[in-house]
Structure 1
Amino acid sequence: MKYKTLNALAPQMRSVLRMVSAAVFFAHGSQKIIGFPASDRAFPEIFSRFWFAGVLELIGGALLFVGLFSRPVAFVLSGLMAFAYWMAHAPRHWVPALNGGDAAILFCFIFLYLVFAGPGPWSLDARAGRDR
């Protein structure tokens, strides 16, 4: 396959990256807020940091999945993941693979990329003409 062909599919793959990342992120929120899939960390105390994180993961993940308000949502979620890494993971150990923060780092930078690159053509933002 030639690079020209791969480059032509880059916008669609950006949409796929957004949707897959959002679906995984949404699952983290649903695990915290509604207890699915089952977890010992489900149903945190309302208005706690963990609860706010779960709500942002749930709502932000859903909005990002469909590509609605993608850039501002991705900005907020990127900040959430940076905050989560430095508050919850970094104090445990300085190596991300040992402190459990590798996913937080990846989410942070995927979402930051989407702030600048946009949601891709398969999004409600693109359909509404808000992201050109």
Structure 2
Amino acid sequence: MQTHLNQARPYALGLFRIVVGLLFTSHGAASLFGILGGTMGGGSIPVGTWPGWYAAVIQFVGGILVMLGFGTRTAALICSGSMAYAYFKVHQPEALFPLQNGGEPSAIFCWTFLLLVFTGPGALAVDRLFGRDDTAHDGERTSEQAPPVTV
């Protein structure tokens, strides 16, 4: 059973990345274009408004890049950082815990993208077409990864 799960790992990670990227893109599209429910007022954020408009651009463009698996690690790092900023600048001053301050989506997206920085895109990624992904298939090590530690 574990062998089958290990063989499916790159595909599960790829599907995870695609869904997370789609959800993040949807947030950006709602804020930028007023679609999918739009912002709180039902419209879009005015161009150049700090920090909302810039955050929406990162959500839209970064989400598309992550969803496609193109420059995944870099895009995920920028997306994670923007969500950390959103959490600590917007939500955390309201209350300590995400459940109290409405920052759960920011916190979850932040940690999700940080995970993708370390795991890479998984299967079904544009990065793999250009040989840009350094993660190995089926749990094998690449020459760039450190050997296992023995004690």
State the TM-score, normalizing by the size of structure 1.
Answer: 0.94
Which residue identity lines up with residue 42 of structure 1 in the other structure?
G
Aligned to 1:45: 46
Q: Look up the SS of the partner of 2:74 in the other structure.
A: helix
Which residue identity lines up with residue 122 of structure 1 in the other structure?
L
Aligned to 1:19: 18
Aligned to 2:142: none
Would you say the 8 A contact 1:32–1:41 is kept in 2?
Answer: no
Aligned to 2:28: 29
Which residue identity lines up with residue 27 of structure 1 in the other structure?
S
Q: Which moved more, 1:98-107 or 1:39-48?
A: 39-48
Q: Look up the SS of the partner of 2:131 in the other structure.
A: coil
Would you say the 8 A contact 1:66–1:123 is kept in 2?
Answer: yes
Q: 4+ residue runs of structure 1 moved beyond 6 angstroms?
A: none
Structure number with greater Rg is: 2
**Residues of 2 paired with 1:84 and 1:29: CA distance?**
14
Aligned to 1:70: 72
Would you say the 8 A contact 1:121–1:127 is kept in 2?
Answer: no
Q: Which moved more, 1:77-86 or 1:8-17?
A: 8-17
Would you say the 8 A contact 1:70–1:118 is kept in 2?
Answer: yes
Would you say the 8 A contact 1:64–1:73 is kept in 2?
Answer: yes
Aligned to 1:55: 57
**Aligned pairs, number:** 131
User: Cα deviation per residue 1:59-105 (whole Å; 9 max; x = unaligned)?
Assistant: 11111111111111001000000000001111111111121111111
5+ unaligned residues in a row in structure 2: which ranges? 135-151
Higher helix share: 1
Aligned to 1:6: 5
Correspondent of 2:101 among 95, 99, 102: 99
5+ unaligned residues in a row in structure 1: which ranges? none
**Percent of aligned pairs with the same residue?**
34
CA RMSD, aligned part only?
Answer: 1.2
**Residues of 2 paired with 1:19 and 1:42: CA distance?**
26
1:41 deviates by: 5.7
Q: Look up the SS of the partner of 1:10 in the other structure.
A: helix
